Amino acid sequence: MADPPPGIEDEAVTALLAASGALVGLTTRSLAGIGPEVTLSQFRTLVVLAARGPQRAAEIATELGVAPSAGTRMCDRLAAKGLVRRCRSTSDRRVVRLGLTRAGAGLVDAVFQRRREALSRLVAATAAHWSPAAISALTAFAVAAGEAPERDWRHGC
């Protein structure tokens, strides 16, 4: 593989910053009016649980990059909204994991469906700019960031 052109990394970072801002806005709009009101941080928690399956609160906090107490409070709020539930380990009753409820999984699915529809419209409007190389680069980026494809998600405890 040839060396990338000089400055391409800075251009890629600039383009990704703009795209990530657009994606955050799209996600915010996709959350509006669906189920109980959740913040972007709370939604990210739900996505982590959907993608990785049941987790301990400390694992969720690490994934989100927040203090364990903040992760626990966020999970408490989501449990109060009926979006996550606590499940005791069958092998060690001291271990409590959090998993999505049916309502939590439904909320994640509904938001992702709205996002997919909005992204489909945007891709159609920019169709001339898409190539297999662009798709491959975005896929590699998502993998490097640790994002699991939706088809691999596991809901519930």
Contact 51/148 with Cβ under 8 angstroms? yes
Q: Which amino acid is at 63?
A: E
pLDDT value of position 114 = 94
Q: What are phi and psi of 86, to 5 degrees?
A: -90, 135
pLDDT value of position 154 = 59
Q: Six-digit token pair at 139?
A: 């896929």
Whole-structure pTM value: 0.81
pLDDT value of position 91 = 75
Q: Six-digit token pair at 122?
A: 């945007």
Tell me the fold of 28-146. Answer: Arc Repressor Mutant, subunit A (1.10.10)
**Spans of the chain below 70 pLDDT:** 1, 148-157
pLDDT value of position 36 = 83
Which residues neighbour 105 within 8 Å (Cβ) at sequence distance 6 or greater?
A: 50, 155, 156
Share of the chain above pLDDT 70, in %: 93
pLDDT value of position 80 = 96
pLDDT value of position 132 = 93
The span from the CA of 25 to the CA of 6, in Å, is 31
Contact 103/35 with Cβ under 8 angstroms? yes
The span from the CA of 106 to the CA of 69, in Å, is 27
